[in-house]
């Protein structure tokens, strides 16, 4: 299985369009704030991290222990690395560190920052306020990534903050076309109809499940290929030849 590839599923296409919308917005009239959200297992974090890496965006991930100051330090470290500002970070309060972040961002317009697991910030008004200040005072684009109720929670916490979000996208369950593209682009197995239908049925729209099922089938296929090769080698008393295995043979591959 090929690793690290961002397959263009329906969610990837839609999320890319959201970012493109913010990049092309009238910058003096609209802030660059958006929210991607959805149920677990639909590929939000995979999209956010791989998209950020491929396009040179900053990717930050919040944790349960994240505080306003630790986030300011995390952001400042990422900015120093991104713009080669040195190895020695300034010290100070959370407020002072955020001010330093703002100074840097003002000098680098149109930077895109992806903040994953934004749900952890909902209990810190100071942290949410700092993120708001970034988009209010600079041309930075911030993409928030959260769980399925992140949009509703943001509205409940602060309707004015909610109004600042100029684009929302809820990740949807993967469809059969997504499964087909997934198998074609990252799998070592041919994307025949039986395989596509099997993965689509058992994944139930969950991308994480689809990946696990596909990996399991690949392992079974490779094991079956090895058994056939070993049998032929023993029969011929010579090194095993390379042979492709037809998935329609009566082999226990886990999806027939």
pLDDT band, residue 225 (cuts 50/70/90): low
Write the pLDDT tens digit of every residue in 30-49: 999 999 999 999 999 999 99
- In the chain, what percentage of residues exceed pLDDT 70? 87
> Rounded to whole angstroms, what are the CA distances from 49 to 4, 53, 183, 222?
10, 6, 21, 30
| Weakest-pLDDT range from 18-22, 101-105, 217-221 | 217-221
**In the prediction, which pLDDT does 199 show?**
95
**In the prediction, which pLDDT does 17 show?**
97
Write the pLDDT tens digit of every residue in 102-152: 999 999 988 999 999 999 999 899 999 999 999 999 999 999 999 999 999
Burial of 126 (0-12, 13-18, 19+ CB in 10 A): middle
pTM recorded for the entire structure: 0.85
pLDDT band, residue 237 (cuts 50/70/90): low
What b/e string do you get for 145-182 counting C-beta neighbours within 10 Å, with b at 16 or more?
A: bbeeebbeebeeeeeebbebbbbebbbebbeeebbbbb
SS3 state of residue 37: strand
Cα–Cα distance, 36 to 170 (Å, whole number): 6
What residue has token string 């000098």? Answer: 107
- pLDDT, average across residues 194-223: 92
Say if residues 136 and 30 touch (Cβ distance below 8 Å): no
SS3 state of residue 243: coil
**In the prediction, which pLDDT does 240 show?**
53
> Rounded to whole angstroms, what are the CA distances from 71 to 75, 80, 141, 157, 239?
6, 14, 17, 20, 58
| Weakest-pLDDT range from 3-7, 59-63, 113-117, 187-191 | 187-191
Cα–Cα distance, 101 to 187 (Å, whole number): 42
Residue 181 has pLDDT above 80, yes or no: yes
Residue 238 has pLDDT above 70, yes or no: no
SS3 state of residue 33: strand
Class of domain 10-170: alpha beta
**In the prediction, which pLDDT does 239 show?**
58
> Rounded to whole angstroms, what are the CA distances from 241 to 18, 155, 235?
50, 63, 12
pLDDT band, residue 55 (cuts 50/70/90): very high
**In the prediction, which pLDDT does 158 show?**
87
Residues 6 or more apart in contact with residue 95 via CB below 8 angstroms: none
- pLDDT, average across residues 181-199: 91
Say if residues 222 and 251 touch (Cβ distance below 8 Å): no
Round the average pLDDT of the chain to a whole number and report it.
Answer: 89
């Amino acid at each position: 299985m090929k690793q690290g590839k961002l397959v263009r599923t329906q969610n990837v296409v839609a999320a890319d369009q959201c970012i493109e919308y913010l990049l092309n917005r009238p910058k003096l009239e609209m802030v660059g704030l958006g929210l991607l959200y959805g149920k677990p297992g639909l590929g939000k974090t995979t999209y956010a991290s791989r998209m950020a890496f491929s396009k040179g965006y900053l990717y930050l991930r919040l944790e349960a222990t994240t505080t306003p100051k630790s986030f300011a330090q995390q952001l400042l470290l990422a900015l120093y690395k991104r713009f080669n500002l040195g190895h020695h970070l300034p010290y100070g309060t959370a407020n002072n560190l955020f001010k330093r972040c703002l100074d840097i961002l003002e000098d680098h317009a149109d930077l895109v920052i992806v903040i994953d697991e934004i749900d952890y910030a909902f209990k810190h008004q100071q942290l949410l306020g700092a993120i708001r200040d970034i988009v209010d005072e600079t041309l930075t684009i911030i993409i928030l990534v959260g769980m399925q109720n992140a949009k509703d929670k943001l509205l409940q916490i602060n309707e004015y903050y909610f109004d600042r979000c100029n684009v929302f996208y809820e990740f949807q369950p993967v469809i059969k076309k997504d499964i087909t593209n997934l198998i074609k682009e990252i799998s070592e197995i041919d994307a025949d109809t039986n395989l596509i239908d099997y993965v689509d049925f058992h994944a139930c729209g969950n991308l994480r499940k689809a990946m696990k099922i596909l990996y399991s089938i690949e392992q079974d296929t490779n094991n079956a290929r090895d058994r056939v090769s070993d049998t032929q080698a023993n029969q011929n008393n010579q090194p095993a030849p390379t042979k492709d295995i037809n998935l329609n043979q009566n082999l226990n591959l886990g999806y027939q």
